[in-house]
Amino acid sequence: MTQREDFHSLLGVTILDWRDGYARVALDITPRLLNRSDILHGGVLLSLLDEVGALCGVWCSVKGNRRYAVTVDLAGHFTGQATAGRIIAVGEQVSHGRSLFFARSEIRDPAERLISYGTSTHKWRRGSELVEGVPVA
Residue 96, domain CATH: 3.10.129.10
Percent above pLDDT 90 for the chain: 91
Residue 64: inside a domain: yes
Model pLDDT, residue 1: 37
Tens of pLDDT, residues 65-76: 999 999 999 999
More confident residue, 55 or 4: 55
Residue 1: inside a domain: no
Per DSSP, the residues of 48-91 read HHHHHHHHTTT--SSTTEE--EEEEEEEEEE-----SSEEEEEE
Model pLDDT, residue 106: 98
Residue 104: inside a domain: yes
Segment 19-45 shows an average pLDDT of 97
Model pLDDT, residue 137: 78
Residue 85: inside a domain: yes
Tens of pLDDT, residues 106-120: 999 999 999 999 999
Enclosing domain of residue 59: 7-135
- pLDDT above 80: residue 26: yes
Residue 49: inside a domain: yes
Query: How many folded domains does the chain comprise?
Result: 1
